Chains A and B, each alone.
Chain A
């Protein structure tokens, strides 16, 4: 009898407590310096207030995090906050597993986010679905020291200049002038966006689930064929061609002189270059004769998952509010190289007097790149099962680099397989309207 009374009292107390405060979980996928920065933010949140406690759980990668979230959601054991990457945007929008952030936080000034970041994550009605978190975009990294050794004083800005520089580097005996991993995000998405090319019809899926891939017919096909030819010439190297086995590692070690990479790897590069080489970052190169449009916001954003009580949602809101604070975003940018995507943070950086400092180098540049004139096809990518398409694209293009088939055949195959994914997605979400 006594025990049951005690138990009841304990249950009541627990109930009373959870009405005010909440322990919430936040899942993320990053590792390395970015993970350190995320953990620091979690600790800072827990230290700054006592009402809520956030537990941040690293899942090792975006993909694993998403896999676990699916399993956890089905088992009703999911966290309230989860970080997802850009490619999963439509899958999540239609998942019925998340609440748009703008719906649960209606009073936030969401138009503070730059247009490029909003466009990627907002509904057709202009409601932001997720809160951009570690936003990144594609930048062009050069090892200034190595370039100067080969007699290149001006950082290349067009692909023509990049390849000229690569030829000079090669002539000077450099083993790896330009390195890329041929990843879909870098060579297809960001290339298409800034050159104003569509990846799929219906404005990359923004206008309906019946979109079809079209990238195999655009100028990107020519660019990818160029990459194959340049690789044969010894100007472009892939992951597997480098000693380091990975393009960023190869660049950071000084093995390769130029790379196109995410702004999010800036911190790692500066750290690796410290005292050995000089690093330059620029906007990603364009082909001559093409007008520059915006690059896409990459990285990841935070979603609020359904099925939690009010206290947990309150905790989640508090944490999201905390992450949006300018000083938090600035610290995160300085630690990682990810780009702050709200206007007030940019102002804060400008006012801080540190605007020219290396730690904010990617902020201004990334924003500039994402703020170039947009087209209807450079808003983002709203295609279903897109995570799998990215892998199909890599798989097919690898066959072209390996010499098994021409790049055009690879792209045609990737389009065909991608369209099958889109049709299945359409069928899976039959009768569902794009939000």
Chain B
């Protein structure tokens, strides 16, 4: 506390400086969230004018809906596969870039570029890249007709989505992990090398343990982000299809709320999803976060 008061002579100044941002958060985050929780206990007419308190009816309806569980299950599969790949691949790239292999300098630069691309644009590009007739896999389709059909086969569509998500996740995770790797003192490598540890040994016994805080950060962010940020990709690449195979919970909420005018059901699912994300993050901190040693 003493250090703060030395920075700001007036105790209201920091509050004032933060307030515009807090106002935005309240307006665009807490108010809608509160609204969603509120609506989840009502049956709401789309155009307003009539809403009826129904208690936990909406929750009972959503929780007994097979589509909800399927979308939830798909969300979990996507979360686990997409976010672990979105950390693993940047990790490999970062370790390589850190080893000062040839071209690591331009690679460090180039690999950051995708960060500047919006999710929806990535979606449009990937829809083209994975197009069965003109995309990258078109030659495969020529050889084996129908083997790659993301418009018909749900699994293919899901793979497209994961690839797009992982690609968009590379830059941020790469930067974080590379920064972690570079902050490891060279003396550690030298000491390990003198003790006879080869490159692989050094990666597993020196580098990985020392970048655990960064790995943990990227994993937590990826887990939560994969749940929400998949929306832009789904909306541009698959529209939730074919046959609902890529309808993750975020997309289902959007569909139910905005094209189905089911404001109550969408709100209920939002509430459930949010509680799930909070619990998931809390669990990560409780079970993983504690084991991480931030001291060096």
Contacts and interface: CB of A to CB of B under 8 A. Distances in A.
B152 A238 contact: yes
Interface string B246-275: 010000000110111110010000000000
A25 interface: no
A429 B45 contact: yes
Nearest to B54: A427
A391 to B, nearest CB: 6
A96 B50 CA distance: 10
A175 to B, nearest CB: 11
A398 interface: yes
Nearest to B134: A243
Interface residues of B, number: 36
Interface stretch (B78-86, B116-124, B212-220, B237-245): B237-245
A35 interface: no
B131 interface: yes
A67 interface: yes
A240 B261 contact: no
Nearest to A413: B66
A303 B154 CA distance: 39
Interface stretch (A281-289, A356-364, A399-407): A399-407
Contacts of A428: 43-45, 50, 52
Contacts of A63: 258-259
A308 interface: no
Given A398-B243, A402-B153, A388 B43 contact: no
Contact of B47 (A70, A399, A417, A427): A70
Given A240-B242, A402-B243, A70 B52 contact: no
Nearest to A384: B261
B241 A241 contact: no
A395 B243 contact: yes
A402 B133 contact: no
A388 B262 contact: yes
Interface in B221-244: 240-244
A398 B50 CA distance: 36
Given A96-B47, A402-B152, A427-B43, A388 B261 contact: yes
A220 to B, nearest CB: 19
A339 to B, nearest CB: 26
A320 interface: no
Main secondary structure, interface of A, reads helix
B49 interface: yes
B67 A399 contact: no
Interface residues of A, number: 35
A388 B152 contact: no
Most A C-beta atoms less than 10 A away, residue of B43, B46, B241: B46
Contacts of A398: 152, 241-244
Contact of A241 (B152, B243, B244): B152
B243 A91 contact: no
A29 B152 CA distance: 28
Nearest to B242: A398
B149 interface: yes
A97 interface: yes
A330 B43 CA distance: 45
B243 A404 contact: yes
A70 B152 contact: no
Contacts of B260: 385, 387-388, 391, 421
B243 A240 contact: no
Contacts of B243: 395-396, 398-399, 401-402, 404
B185 interface: no
Contact of B261 (A243, A385, A396, A404): A385
A399 B152 contact: no
A95 interface: yes
A396 B45 CA distance: 26
A245 interface: yes
Contacts of A387: 259-261
Nearest to A399: B243
A109 interface: no
A222 interface: no
Interface in A32-87: 63, 67, 70, 73-74
Contacts of A73: 47-48
B262 A424 contact: yes
Nearest to A400: B243
A18 interface: no
Nearest to B149: A240
8 contacts: A73-B48, A95-B46, A238-B152, A241-B151, A387-B261, A396-B243, A398-B243, A399-B242
Given A394-B241, A398-B244, A424-B265, 5 more contacts: A96-B45, A245-B151, A387-B261, A396-B244, A401-B152
Interface of A: 63, 67, 70, 73-74, 91, 95-97, 238-241, 243, 245, 385, 387-388, 391, 394-396, 398-399, 401-402, 404, 417, 420-421, 424, 427-430
What are the 3 tightest A-B residue pairs by CB atom distance, in nearest-first order?
A240-B151, A388-B260, A399-B243
